[in-house]
Structure 1
Amino acid sequence: MLAGVLFALAAGLMWGLIFIGPLLVPEYPATLLSVGRYLAFGIIAVALAWHDRHRLKQLSRRDWMEAFRLTLIGNLLYYTCLAAAIQRTGAPVSTMLIGTLPVVITITSNLLYGRHEGRLAWGKLMPALLLIVIGLGCVNLAELQSAAHHLELSRYLSGILLAIMAVICWTWYPLRNARWLRANPHKKPGTWATAQGVATLPLALLGWLLVALMLNWTQPTFALPFGPRPEVFIPLMLAIGLFCSWLGTLCWNEACQRLPTVLVGPLIVFETLAGLAYTFMLRQSWPPLLTLAGIACLIIGVLIAIRIKPQPIVKSLDISS
């Protein structure tokens, strides 16, 4: 349990970097940021695949198809929606919308998988979820108050919609990924992270080609293939591809093999907290009191949730024998 929580914490600290990436290159479209990140992830994974080639050969065709689905929805589609949302609403608002994932994933996993792995009692879980919701509300309110004077309503609402789509993608991804890992305990989490990276590469290459064609048509003045600031864009994509994609996925896979799926949801909040911390570091300012109160609620809610023990699975007995 402790090792699983620590791996989830490490993943959250690395994933939090994705919320400031779009702010460092605001002139780049979200689609280019997404395919750039996962092109870097794919290249890194291919380099690592040679070292892990013997384990990768043990993956079946069905496993590779699962890796393809996971990377399409949980990587490319998710980050495209998230990067676009951040550029439209600002990092804190998008971060906190993504921060609803602990609640959404916990409820979904408890409903879908609780009977297989042990359900968390709703009576014990509700106080933790309530604290998380209050925390998310506090931070959202604080950010909306500070940004109200320069919000463009149509752009803001489209950003909210994109963030909701990102939430849907990343509700599906960690639950599906965790179920595969728990169903295949003999497979190494690092191998599965590398497999997802290898599966990402052809998708990212195709995506890069399509995005380049679209930009050449809609924004002919945009400098291709690496945009107006390649000296910033290329190292940023490599750093996000390494830390947020491969290493973050590796740590998360390690956590998923050690923890029940119903506990995966609350630990997603580490990503939200890290994203907020990095955002305020980039702003070079302290969070307002309401934001700090919200963060405290988030932390307390997660601590309560991870201390709840799943109820034992009750199997029916055959009394006829």
Structure 2
Amino acid sequence: MAAGALWGLVFVAPLMLPEYPAALQSVARYLAFGLICLPLAWFDRRELRSLSRADWRHALKLAFVGNLLYYLLLASSIQRTGGPLSTVIIGTLPVVIAIVANRRNAERDGRLPWRRLWPALALIALGIALVNRTELQAVLADPARDVGAYTLGALLAVGAVACWTWYPLHNADWLRAHPDRSPRAWSTAQGLATLPLAAIGYALVWGLDAVRGDPFAMPFGPRPAVFIGLMVSVGLLASWLGTLCWNAASQRLPTALAGQLIVFETLAALLYAYLWRGEWPAPLSLLGIGALVAGVLWGVRVRPEPVIAQAHPD
């Protein structure tokens, strides 16, 4: 729940910086994350020294797919849709991860009984559909809204879902295989792995702007104090602290159950987006939010059942 509340911040940041390119916001957030992890690494230096090359390669893959690529797709989507639609598409993650993890990790985590899991997933899906219907109606009724850009934003959000379905499954693989390792150190390791990727990305964005003759004021844009302050805040709270909370949960919970709890990110993001827009959700959206909450409350009551291995006929 804490990770979801912290991760919800990343959905409102692009709305607060609409004039900043999504690519710049993505690399800047993770550059801040990596730089923040440099001094934090001192507290986990022994744990970090014990990581093998294979561990660091795994952290690098997680950093690229789950951090940079995911947030680039998400920020690009939010800037085209306005926030809530991207939020509810990302909100399908509890359903997607639960289904995939329940099939993929049954032997390790136990299997959540489908007959008891489906009602929870159906309620979550219904909530997503209700909020999505309200947002789509608002878009179609607004003559100033570019439906093509809105559609592209939706597709980018689907790509973000694919990235963040891959990330928690492979992140949990490492954490469950290393139950004695510190979730905090693994969060810091991912930040350190992100740093060189983000630095290269920042240089590429700056260089491409210079080649194109873009008038955007690099390196920090037209509102440097706001930009730097927001990126540092998101890097510390959402990237490092949120990842720490998620790692601690992933080490203790079946992945299919943890996946359902990502719905708190959706709920937090909806709350922040509506607060930023200064409006109340429509009645249908409130009904959808209620369905999301009901689905999670139902889902967390489902307990995994151990998978009994079949004896070999010989």
TM-score w.r.t. structure 1 length?
Answer: 0.95
- Among 2, 15, 19, the residue aligned to 1:10: 2
Shift in Å, 1:319: 9.3
1:293 paired to 2:287: yes
* Alpha carbons 1:12, 1:248 under 8 Å: kept: yes
Query: Could you tell me which residue of structure 2 aligns to residue 162 of structure 1?
Result: 156
Amino acid at match of 2:267: L
Counterpart-to-counterpart distance in 2, 1:168 and 1:151: 27
Shift in Å, 1:136: 0.2
Q: How does 1:232-311 map to 2 (within 5 A)?
A: 232-311=226-305
Shift in Å, 1:52: 1.1
The runs of 5 or more residues in structure 1 that have no matched partner are: 1-8
Query: Could you tell me which residue of structure 1 aligns to residue 138 of structure 2?
Result: 146
- Among 11, 19, 22, the residue aligned to 1:19: 11
Query: Helix, strand or coil: the match of 2:20?
Result: coil
* Alpha carbons 2:139, 2:147 under 8 Å: kept: no
Query: Could you tell me which residue of structure 2 aligns to residue 4 of structure 1?
Result: none
1:204 paired to 2:217: no
The runs of 5 or more residues in structure 2 that have no matched partner are: none
Aligned length, in residue pairs = 312
- Among 85, 94, 97, the residue aligned to 1:102: 94
Shift in Å, 1:116: 2.6
Counterpart-to-counterpart distance in 1, 2:277 and 2:153: 21
Amino acid at match of 2:35: I
Q: Percent of pairs identical after alignment?
A: 55
Query: Could you tell me which residue of structure 2 aligns to residue 47 of structure 1?
Result: 39
TM-score w.r.t. structure 2 length?
Answer: 0.97
* Alpha carbons 2:107, 2:306 under 8 Å: kept: no
Query: Could you tell me which residue of structure 1 aligns to residue 225 of structure 2?
Result: 231
1:111 paired to 2:111: no
- Computed over aligned residues only, the root mean square deviation of the Cα atoms, in angstroms, reads 1.2
Counterpart-to-counterpart distance in 2, 1:289 and 1:157: 24
Counterpart-to-counterpart distance in 1, 2:139 and 2:210: 33
Query: Helix, strand or coil: the match of 1:259?
Result: coil
Counterpart-to-counterpart distance in 1, 2:231 and 2:185: 22
171-180 vs 76-85, greater mean Cα deviation: 171-180
| TM-superposition CA deviations, 1:54-103 (whole Å, max 9, x none) | 11001111000000000000000000000000000110000001001011
| TM-superposition CA deviations, 1:13-65 (whole Å, max 9, x none) | 00000000000010111000000000000000111001211110011110000
Query: Could you tell me which residue of structure 1 aligns to residue 53 of structure 2?
Result: 61
